[in-house]
Amino acid sequence: MSKETRRLFFALDLSDAHNAASRDAIVGLKRQLAPQGRPVPDDNLHITLAFLGEVDSKAYRRLCETADTLTCPPLSLITTQTGYFPAQSILWLGIAENTALRLLAEKLQSAAAEILNRPAEHKFVPHISLLRRAKPTEAPLTLQQPLHFQRVGIYASVPLEEGHGVRYQCLNHWTLTD
């Protein structure tokens, strides 16, 4: 069996057409903040539900089997204001508390902890990372935009061939239904 691993995470992807207007506003905020750090490429904007780290193919299959059993309605979310993860130097845009979102993330995080035999690396703070290697803003900036999600995916971080950075490859996805 292959012991090769991939760097994976469960996430909600912002690129669906029905989120275009809100995504444009988020990209605008990201541009405004760009001098503070290294902007995340527009195509990489997402909400991480569970960060998985390095995962081998056997664990990947078990994670997918767990996701097959998920029950979660489509999610209607709203962005709030900027925040900062000091340990990772990430400047992000927050998401308002939503019970279905939190339950989904907690289910995925606890399944991942069991399958990968390691505790979740982070407590769940719903966010969209905007800038990496960033400095914090002096005061939070507010941006309230609606976002709707009808599916959740598992993604791999793939290093770009031309040098710095990564692109995210969707390996599998699941439809959220009432």
Name the minimum Å distance from CB 92 to ligand 2AM: 7
Mark residues 36-65: x for contact with ligand 2AM by CB under 6 A, - for none.
------------x--x--------------
Q: Is 84 exposed, middle or buried (0-12, 13-18, 19+ CB in 10 A)?
A: middle
Alpha helix (H) ranges present in 46-123? 57-68, 99-116
In angstroms, the CA 94 to CA 21 distance is 17
Whether 46 is a known active-site residue: answer yes
CA-wise closest residue to 157 among 143, 171, 176, 178 = 171
Q: Which is nearer to ligand 2AM, 157 or 172 (CB)?
A: 157
Candidate list 52, 90, 108, 143; residue touching ligand 2AM; CB under 6 A: 90
Does residue 85 bind ligand 2AM (CB under 6 A)?
A: yes
Q: Which residue has the tokens 């997918």?
A: 64
Give the CA distances from residue 142 to residues 25, 82, 93, 133, 134, in Å, rounded to whole numbers and listed in that order: 12, 7, 9, 21, 18
Mark residues 113-152: x for contact with ligand 2AM by CB under 6 A, - for none.
--------xxx-x---x-----------------------
Please give the positions annotated as active site: 46, 127
Q: Where along the sequence are the contacts to ligand 2AM (CB under 6 A)?
A: 48, 51, 85, 88, 90, 121-123, 125, 129
